[in-house]
Chains A and B, each alone.
Chain A
Amino acid sequence: MINAGIIHNLINNFEIIQYPLYVGLLLSVTASILGVVLVLKRYSMIGDGLSHVSFGVYAVAIGLGLTNAPILVVIPIVILAAYILLRIGESKELKSDAAIGLFSSSALAIGYLVGAMKHGGFTTDINSLMFGSIVFANRQDFIIMLVTAIIVIGLFVLMYHRIFAVTFDESFAKATGVHTRMMNMLFASLTAVTIVIGMRIMGTLLISSIIIFPALSSMQLFRKFKHVILSSACIAILTFLIAFFAFTDYPFGASMVVVNLCFFVVFAIVGRITKRYGRR
């Protein structure tokens, strides 16, 4: 329960926590909505792959001395990686899960190697890149996430039927004239931006959880696409608020995963019960 003392502290420290709070909320909603499409299209692990690529590029950017605005360097490269991963997924020569594995380990290794080669090694705490920290969120992250969230929510409102068609059956959607490649590219780009910002908060190793968990939890209980999207966004907001306010003394990324896991277990149990009850 939030008591008067905590509220007083919040008001006093609002200037400090405002960007982490805003960025966290926007990130949670954006990742959870994109997550529904990624999970249903069997691209769940693309988030994991892109976070490793982000780590690699981030480490190389710092290694090359681009310390002022590494995010602006990392974002275009991760978008390019997302595009390459999608194209590999479409081709018959290499399976997309193998491609993600290849990208993940290579980017992580190159990033770590460049960081280690740099005189004096890593100046950024490697632990914070791996597991993230909510205090990293700043005004620049807020602006990028606000724009991304507006685009994602706008897309889902205005292009709901097209998104449904492409997610449900890409071949059919393409045959009826939907520009599937353009839509996939758009989703990959938005996912890439979300991952880059989210990686610093959730960490390289945990970022994919905020993409996968809300969608999976919602799918345990809801049987309509629209309901799954709305439920995912609600779960993501609740998860963030619980992790942000109730687990203040614990690592943020890990807290988010544990709260998400609790939601998944509850939804899975309720889903089983309602399914069995419905069949009777």
Chain B
Amino acid sequence: MILQCKDLTIGYDNHKTLENINLTILPGEYVCIFGDNGSGKSTLVKTILGLIPEIKGSIVFGEDLSRKSVGYLPQKNDNLADFPASVYEVVRSGCMNQLGFRPFFGKKEIKRTKEMMKLLDIETLAHRSFSELSGGQQQRVLLARALCATDKLLILDEPFTGLDGTTARQLHTTLDSINKERGVTIIIVSHFIENILKHATKVVHLNQNCMFCGNPKEYMEHYRKEYVFSRRMLKEEELDD
């Protein structure tokens, strides 16, 4: 187990969004959390990350993992559009959880920053301004930052919002390789379900206090009658791959 939610009730200012969530995530899993707007997807991950206090219940992290050593890619933030920061500065800020009481980053953090930039293929952008990058490049930079913070658990909140089809597919491939080759557990929050189901090993569907939790095939069987995907129906054989 890498993460476990036990009888968890979440919400803002004692207003309950979801109650009695019981969820166990195993190391190496690729978990997709789906749900309509306002279903509590982002509230759930923010509670897991400690950004919002839980109303009831508990969140337990596995051995060798603490709350602050989780890599996090927040929802798209328009405030960053004109932020004066180089790509290198942004990625390096992901090592904040390794800084402790030291005022400056050491060789270890600098090495990790460069390693993650290489992994995400953004080395050539190191000295570019973050604000001048395209949406896809910015997401890769923020993903590198999140990976600087963790080797174990990555939580991504709506990472595909605002990306075109090609860029989104590239990001899917990158996440897939991070999960399979580096063994990083991924929790991804999205309301676009079509593409993610191909990569997921577990699906969590949140919908007004109803929660489905199972593998993608079970999910398809469970929701086949209720959901008609707007553009194309995901074929079962794609899930089997």
Contact = CB atoms under 8 A, between A and B. Distances in A.
A87 interface: no
B198 to A, nearest CB: 28
A146 interface: no
A101 B79 CA distance: 21
Given A161-B104, A161-B105, A178-B96, A172 B145 contact: yes
Interface string B29-61: 000000000000000001001110000000000
Contact of A224 (B68, B82, B85, B145): B85
Interface residues of B, number: 36
Interface in A206-232: 218-219, 222-225, 227-228
Nearest to A228: B84
Contact of A175 (B51, B77, B79): B51
Nearest to A221: B84
Interface in B175-192: none
Interface string B60-93: 0000000110101010010110111110011011
Contacts of B129: 223-224
Nearest to B45: A175
Given A168-B90, A223-B131, A174 B50 contact: yes
Nearest to A279: B132
Contacts of B94: 172, 176
Contact of A168 (B50, B93, B105): B93
Q: What is the size category of the interface that chain A forms with chain B?
A: 20 to 34
A246 to B, nearest CB: 30
Contacts of B49: 174-175
B165 interface: no
Interface in A165-187: 165, 168-169, 171-178
Contact of A219 (B68, B84, B97, B105): B84
Nearest to B75: A171
B99 interface: yes
A225 B96 contact: no
Contact of B82 (A164, A173, A219, A227): A219
Contact of B51 (A40, A41, A174, A225): A174
Given A176-B149, A225-B89, A171 B84 contact: no
Nearest to B131: A223
A171 B80 contact: no
A40 B83 CA distance: 7
Contacts of A227: 84
Interface of B: 12-13, 46, 49-51, 67-68, 70, 72, 74, 77, 79-80, 82-86, 89-90, 92-94, 96-97, 99, 103-105, 129, 131-132, 145-146, 149
Given A41-B79, A172-B93, 15 more contacts: A91-B13, A161-B103, A164-B85, A168-B90, A169-B74, A169-B93, A172-B145, A173-B93, A176-B96, A176-B149, A177-B67, A177-B68, A177-B97, A224-B129, A228-B84
